[in-house]
Structure 1
Amino acid sequence: MSSSSTKTLRLHFPQWQGGNNHAYFFGAELLAWLAPESDDPVEKVSVSFDEQTVLNNENGIVGRQVLIQQITESSQLIARHQPDNLVVLGGDCLVDLTPFAYLSEKYQDKLGVLWVDAHPDIMTPEQFSHAHAMVLRALMGEGDSDLTQFVTTPIKASKIFYAGVNEESEYEAQFLASRHMRVCRPEAIRSGDYLPALQQWIVEEKIECLAIHLDLDVLSTASFGSLLFRNPHVPEGTYAGIAQGKLTIAEVLGVISQAAAQAQVVGLGIAEHLPWDSLNLKKMLAQLPLLSR
């Protein structure tokens, strides 16, 4: 619970269009149900859902128009509350665009972003058409103008600390190197060797507040099954060449707790929950006698 002197807004944002995968919607709904109850205000972004919906590539971004509508609504909900802290339960990774943009404007150079993810999310429509892979690049004030219009205070590369990124593409690797971005690999997290780098980042950048993005795909499929890469309905090899998470829940919690001990957490976004077993059971129940309509 938030203290009486601060205000936390919980934003439920079951966006699926940014990853062009209907399962993100149900994943976000279940995530919101699983999350501890809160006495803080809760808002839900209106997200249309029909499994028959097919999204088109609109000038480089799949589902561009509906995404901008949803992002606009999320921005309006945040502006209505003017919170000190934000919790975001998504949906695909694009759900953190307006919440983190708001926190960047509010806390300015005091804010650092801990990006716990297997992927750097710095694509533009020139490299990829799914907007969930563009979110951090947009937060840096770069990329498609329909996304960057929501970012009034771009986040500097030096204010970002990656945890869990691995096996990035050549384009991604070149971008991270060119911006001298701090990247903590899964091996360093597993061994504990990341701590000096994390502490140095917080001290050097004078970070007082943290916004933490947690993409659940940073977890390994061996330790957590509700991930894109465990989709039982796609042919083997569908995700070949795409980086997969290598961490356990305990390792992720360790990184976040170490960071939270050194700076005040003002934002937490959780995304990309894909509970295939629950989704399959939901569909099965809908076809059983006395349960189906």
Structure 2
Amino acid sequence: MSQIHPSGPGALRLFFPQWQGAAGPQTHQLLPGVNAHDSQLSYHLGPALLGLMSPDHDGPTAYVPVSTDTADEALTTVNGIYAREAVLRQLTEALRILEDAAPDSVVTFGGECSVSVAPFSYLANRYGDDLAVLWIDAHPDTGVPGQSYTGFRSMALATLAGEGDAGIISELPALVPPLKILQVGLRHWDDEGIAVKERLGIQSVGITDTAEDSRKVLDWVEASGATRLAVHIDLDVLDSRDFSNSTGRQSDGMRVSDLVALVGDLSAAAEIVGLSLTEHLPLELMRLSRMLHDLPV
């Protein structure tokens, strides 16, 4: 039986549809017929759909207010971070919501990957060394300001580990030591963040499609000494044969059955107190939305 508690007084379901952490032409050109800003705003729609499709939740629910302003001045790159002002403002608001709600566990339906920074930092402050982080993602997310990609999503995990923008890091109630972080499913080894990952000593396990790989993850959890886990799932880790509404769209990813089995195994080994689902990009629905805006409905 899973030890994550998606309902009840100790659990918070957090909707955090942040999109500003995704920057660059690869974000803007995802779907012909959908303009650049609509492609970005698809991150805003994704979390709502996740909530609609999920089991009923009888515990508390909270929504982080996220700006939909796509004006150039609202998206200015500062200190090497695209839309830094919006990212920082929304991060601090998410932390305020979490501090006020004081949940024992948090399920986050998010936009891009950086939405995990606030709930995981909150949980690290609540549980200290008893918390470990599993970052299930095709990308390392250990970039830092000054690299070619300026989206904060690529810096999310490095920020949690205390590497990156000092002003953002100073807002976090706690950091996660690199030795308490495991990356799972990483396959973009040409990413600029790999050098930071290796310098920090963050370990990783490949695509968990074998019992041996799953065993490596469980052995790492046991060796970490943590009895509580925060699990980040970027949907781009999935194989495109199972899911294509993300940025991955490759047929060498993790199968859905393997992901579900791994999370089940993890929940038997430790209590999952944090779970984030990110990078849901319902781009076809954004195309439909554009049509609806052009019809007299």
Q: Does 1:39 align with 2:69?
A: no
Q: Which whole-Å CA distance do the structure 2 matches of 1:88 and 1:170 have between them?
A: 26
Identity within the alignment, %: 32
Is 1:67 matched with 2:87?
yes
- 1:1-293 alignment, distance < 5 Å: 7-20=10-23, 21-50=40-69, 55-127=75-147, 128-169=149-190, 171-186=192-207, 189-229=208-248, 246-289=253-296, 291=297
Residue by residue, what CA displacement relative to the aligned partner does 1:57-106 show, whole Å, maximum 9, x if unpaired? 12211111111111111111001011100111111111111110010011
In the alignment, the residues of structure 2 paired with residue 197 and residue 100 of structure 1 have an alpha-carbon distance, to the nearest angstrom, of 23
1:136 is displaced (CA, Å) by 0.8
Assess if the C-alpha contact under 8 Å between 1:17 and 1:67 holds in 2.
yes
State the TM-score, normalized to the length of structure 1: 0.87
AA at the equivalent of 2:176: I
Alignment deviations for residues 25-49 of structure 1 (CA, whole Å, 9 cap, x no partner): 1222222222222111111111121
Equivalenced residue count is 275
Encode CA deviations 1:209-231: one digit per residue, 9 max, x unaligned.
0000011111122321201256x
Could you tell me the TM-score, scaled by structure 2's length? 0.86
Contact persistence 2:14–2:107 (CA under 8 A): yes
Secondary structure of the 2:209 match is: helix
> Which letter maps to 1:251?
D
Cα distance in 2, alignment partners of residues 155 and 245 from structure 1: 30
- Name the CA distance, whole Å, in 2 between partners of 1:73 and 1:121: 22
Question: Which amino acid is the alignment partner of residue 183 of structure 1?
Answer: S
CA distance in 2, matches of 1:17, 1:251: 30
Quick one: structure 1 residues 151 and 51, their matched pair in 2 at CA, closer, same or farther if it must change by over 3 Å? closer
Name the Cα RMSD after superposition: 2.1
2:135–2:181 contact (8 Å) kept in structure 1:
yes
Task: Out of 70-79 and 153-162, give the one that drifted further.
Answer: 153-162
User: Structure 1 segments of 4 or more deviating over 4 A?
Assistant: 1-4, 50-54
C-alpha change, 1:61 and 1:162, in structure 2 (3 Å) is same
